[in-house]
A = this chain, B = another copy of it.
Amino acid sequence: MLSASPLPDYLVNRYYGWKATTYAKNESWYQHLAEMGQHPRAMVVSCCDSRVHVSSIFGADQGEFFIHRNVANLVPPYTPDGETHGTSASVEYAVTVLKVAHLIVLGHSNCGGVKGCYDMCSGDAPDLSRSSSFVGRWMELLRSRFDALPEGSEDSRLRELEHQAVLTSLRNLVTFPFVREAMEAGRLTLHGLWNDIGAGSLSCYDPQTREFSPI
């Protein structure tokens, strides 16, 4: 028998509260969304981290952002090998079906996935180095960027690696033919952002200066 438990009561109660307030006030919009389908303007790739909340930062309404969240906001390179690639499926759906106008990669400070990569590549996380570690194998996507990190304090190197996670995703995104086509047709732009959780600041990558600058 399939294992599944009832929802904890505090969540049930909060759901009832939502239904009686937010839903009640927006019922026509939810019905509209159900009947007319979604037409988001942008896809956001962000981290699973519970402290990152793109809808809040951008005051986004239901229906605005198509959001994929994974560990460390990584997009792997185009690999059409007939295997299962969840992130690539999300990007393909957003670009070819929904035809979003923007692909936004949102990185953040204090990222546990990036820290794991840092420790693994430094030889300090044998667990992540095992071939059976999904987090380890996933963070391999960033190993070449670790190898290229400049000297510096661990803090500054970690921050740089968080930035590189965003840039790696941007770089990999253009290896997808449908992404490149949409960009060349002027239908799609890419954007690289990094959020400092404590300071609430947001930086945007500028290819001219090759730096993340505060917006």
Contacts and interface: CB of A to CB of B under 8 A. Distances in A.
Interface of A: 1-41, 43, 48-51, 53, 55-71, 74, 76, 80, 82-94, 97, 99-102, 104, 109-110, 112-113, 131-135, 137-141, 167, 170-171, 174, 182-183, 185-193, 196-202, 204-207, 215
B4 A191 contact: yes
B20 A137 contact: no
A182 B31 CA distance: 11
A99 B31 CA distance: 10
Oligomer copy total? 4
A3 B190 contact: yes
A56 B18 CA distance: 7
B191 A5 contact: yes
A17 B59 contact: yes
A19 B85 contact: no
5 contacts: A7-B204, A17-B21, A56-B62, A71-B89, A82-B137
B36 A50 contact: no
Contacts of A53: 55, 62
A85 B140 CA distance: 11
A34 to B, nearest CB: 3
A89 B138 CA distance: 7
Given A4-B170, A38-B49, 13 more contacts: A3-B183, A6-B206, A13-B22, A15-B215, A18-B56, A34-B199, A40-B50, A53-B55, A56-B62, A80-B131, A85-B138, A89-B113, A89-B138
A109 B113 CA distance: 32
B48 A197 contact: no
Contacts of A40: 50
B204 A6 contact: yes
A9 B24 CA distance: 12
B38 A67 contact: no
A187 B16 contact: no
